[in-house]
Each structure stands twice: as C-alpha cells, then as structure tokens.
Amino acid sequence: MVKIAPSILSADFSCLGEELQKIEAAGADLVHIDVMDGHFVPNLTFGPPVVRALRGCTPLPFDVHLMMDDPGSLLGAFLDAGADSVTLHIEACKQPQALLNRLHEAGVGAALSVKPGTPAETVFPFLDQLSMVLVMTVEPGFGGQKLIPETLRKAAAIRQECARRGLALDIEVDGGINAQTAVNAVQSGANVLVAGSAVFGAADMAAAIRTLRA
Ligand code: DX5
Ligand code: ZN
C-alpha cells in the first residue's frame, strides 16, 4: 500500500490550516512538513510554533523533515509541537544514535534521510532502529525540481538490505514525484511518496493523490 505525503512547502502559506483540511479531504495519508534553516539548505521555512499552530487543523500524522544543522537543538520543541515522526539528515547528525534514542523515548517515528550525493550505506547501521528512511530524489531546499533518476537506485538498495535483514520499514522518496516518476519510485521499493507541486499544483487534489497512489 502506497502512502501519499503532500509537502506543504507547495501550499498557500497565507491559509495553511485550510490547505491541510483540503489535503485531508483529498485522501492524503500524512502531512509532510519541510523544515529548513537557511544553513543546511539555502531556504527558510517553518519552526515549531507553526507546527504547533497547525496541529489542531487535522488529525493526519505530521511527518516532519528536518533540513537543518544541529537538529538536536530543536528536537524537543518539534516533539512538543506535535510531530508524529521526525526525519533527520544523516549529513547533519554528529551523533545520530543519541538523537534516535530521543525519538524512541518520545514514542514517535524515527527516520534518517540521505541527500542525493550521500551513499545509501550510511544509514545501514541504523536500519533496525528506524521506522522509515527518506531518500532525497532532488537536492533539498526547494519544491518543483526534477527527480534525479540515479537516486532511485539507493531506494532499491535500502529495500534490498531491509529484506535481507527481515526489516519492514517505510521507504520515502521526496522531490520531483509526479504521476510519471511515481511508477519508477514504487518499483524501486519506495512506499511513501512525498509530493508538493504534484498535489498542491493540481486543480483536483483528490484525483492527483489517487493517481499517485495508483
Ligand atoms: C525539498 C523538500 C520537498 C519538496 C518536494 O527540499 O524536501 O519535500 O517540497 O516538492 P516537489 O514535490 O514539488 O518536488
Ligand atoms: Zn521533504
């Protein structure tokens, strides 16, 4: 079963609460929240107060993607704000284990992400402690980019390693996912599709989500 996680990076920021209600009605499975700090990536988005404000707008799980340096510094704040799962970039973590421990203690989903240039193997030592791996299919920072095809090999490599070790975790892909690229992404082993422009740019969000899922 493929899950669809619309990225609110492509939503209308002047009415985010209503945008969440729209994607909920359209059949989204998760809300993908792209946190950017202006350092780890050259763009700046939401912090914990925004996540907290949105928490009351929908019961959908919040999939919080932290594109920030030193993610430990705000981890507690994002957990208090209502994150249901937190994705940390392996490139940004000096001590991934300590941060994963905090996520486990908080009882939320724990995920690690790799940028396009980071080998899949960097997350292998942690696979048995993760609920999800996020394979970036574009360079993080902006919505509306084209998927980098080679990145899907990493999704496949992670899926294969999970199968070898008997682990059933989610594999999420993020960036450039649309009705065309979703097919290869799912064939490569992804089962959670982040989609920003493909959902929020669609005239009919429900149809866009149905098409991605199919
Ligand atoms: C990029 C973000 C993505 C982005 C996806 O740094 O992590 O979630 O919003 O947008 P699309 O689907 O438009 O490529
Ligand atoms: Zn993202």
Ligand 1 pocket test, pick from 4, 13, 34, 37 with the greatest ligand atom count within 8 Å of Cβ, gives 34
- Can you tell me the mean pLDDT for 166-183? 98
- Amino acid letter for position 138: V
> Is 12 known to be catalytic?
no
- The pLDDT score that the predictor gives to residue 130 is 98
Domain layout of the chain by residue ranges: 3-213
CATH number of the domain located at residue range(s) 3-213 in this protein = 3.20.20.70
- The pLDDT score that the predictor gives to residue 72 is 98
- The pLDDT score that the predictor gives to residue 169 is 97
ipTM value greater than 0.85 = yes
> Is 80 known to be catalytic?
no
- Can you tell me the mean pLDDT for 44-66? 98
Provide the pLDDT confidence category of residue 102 given band limits of 50, 70 and 90: very high
- Can you tell me the mean pLDDT for 84-111? 98
Contact 71, 100 (CB under 8 A): no
Tell me how crowded residue 12 is: count the other CB atoms within 10 A of its CB: 11
Q: Is 131 exposed, middle or buried (0-12, 13-18, 19+ CB in 10 A)?
A: middle
pTM: 0.98
What gap in Å lies between CA 116 and CA 149, rounded to an integer? Answer: 10
Residue among 40, 55, 146 nearest 87 (CA): 40
Contact 33, 63 (CB under 8 A): yes
Ligand 1 pocket test, pick from 9, 86, 209 with the greatest ligand atom count within 8 Å of Cβ, gives 9
Which residues, listed in sequence order, are joined to residue 113 by a DSSP beta bridge?
89, 134
Contact 48, 78 (CB under 8 A): yes
Provide the pLDDT confidence category of residue 138 given band limits of 50, 70 and 90: very high
